[in-house]
Amino acid sequence: DSGVTQTPKHLITATGQRVTLRCSPRSGDLSVYWYQQSLDQGLQFLIQYYNGEERAKGNILERFSAQQFPDLHSELNLSSLELGDSALYFCASSEGQGAYGYTFGSGTRLTVV
Amino acid sequence: GENVEQHPSTLSVQEGDSAVIKCTYSDSASNYFPWYKQELGKGPQLIIDIRSNVGEKKDQRIAVTLNKTAKHFSLHITETQPEDSAVYFCAARFRSGYALNFGKGTSLLVTP
């Protein structure tokens, strides 16, 4: 157990729908990072939050959004889902703002049908 | 752009042999280079990392070397074991951001 908790583990939904993925960081970690992993694109950075504020943005689509709450858990919202959004979504956390010592969760597998 | 290139994409070795995975990066100001191991059905796990002020780091059978001039770094696994079979990712932290950029991964298979 890495200490980073992601729920749900699996999610199957239809095109056009909206889903929310949840991540609880390791105790003491203030940064949360979201990544998308697909077979052909590897691990793609989506967005980072530090202590409730957005810190960095990667290749995140406008249909996707995220936030970090006062208790430091984070949610990734995916809307108007397309077949191509099917992927593994990972959350990672670290103590500070810098990307040292990332710890990943076990991921949420999203399947859009 | 800020890229991390990783080679090879697949690697098969016999148990006991060494395995080497190489990565190159584009931003000369990058200062942190971790390696992750991902087993089937799990999230990536940090196995070793190196900062730009160090040329080599070793942890038991695993070592990482960094050549800042050439902008490349490598993972070396000696005396490989079947449990080393997994996908390995290199990553780099670029000057422009706080997050890690990952290579596309190397699928390592160690055969008994």
Q: What percent of chain A has pLDDT over 70?
A: 100
Chain B residues within 8 A of A99 when measuring between CB atoms: 32, 93, 98-100
Q: State the Cα torsion B37-A104-A97-B88 to the nearest 10°.
A: 20
Which chain B residues are closer than 8 Å to A87 by Cβ?
Answer: none
Residue B54: count other Cβ atoms within 10 Å of its Cβ: 12
Q: Given phi > 0 = left and psi -120 to 50 = alpha, else beta, which region is B2?
A: beta
Distance in Å, alpha carbon of B49 to nearest chain A alpha carbon = 8
Rounded to whole angstroms, the Cα distance separating B67 from B89 reads 18
**pLDDT tens digits, residue range B3-36?**
899 999 999 999 999 999 999 998 877 889 999 9
Buried b (16+ CB within 10 A) or exposed e, A8-39: eeebebeeeeebebebbbbeebbbbbbbbbee
Condensed to tens digits (0 to 9), the pLDDT of residues A9-51 reads: 999 999 999 999 999 999 999 999 999 999 777 899 999 999 9
Contact B89 A2 (CB under 8 A): no
Q: Do B99 and A45 touch (CB under 8 A)?
A: yes
Q: What is the number of CB-based contacts under 8 A between chain A and chain B?
A: 61
What is the DSSP pairing of strand B62-67 with strand B10-14? Answer: unpaired
Average pLDDT on B43-70 reads 93
Choose, out of A45, A47, A95, the residue to mutate when testing the contact with B (most B CBs < 10 Å).
A45
Give the model's confidence band at B96: pLDDT under 50 very low, under 70 low, under 90 confident, else very high.
Answer: low
| Cis-peptide, bond into residue A8, ω within 30° of zero | yes
Collect all residues from B whose CB is shorter than 8 A from any CB in A.
32, 34, 36, 41-46, 49, 89, 93, 97-105
For residue B13, the model assigns a pLDDT of: 98
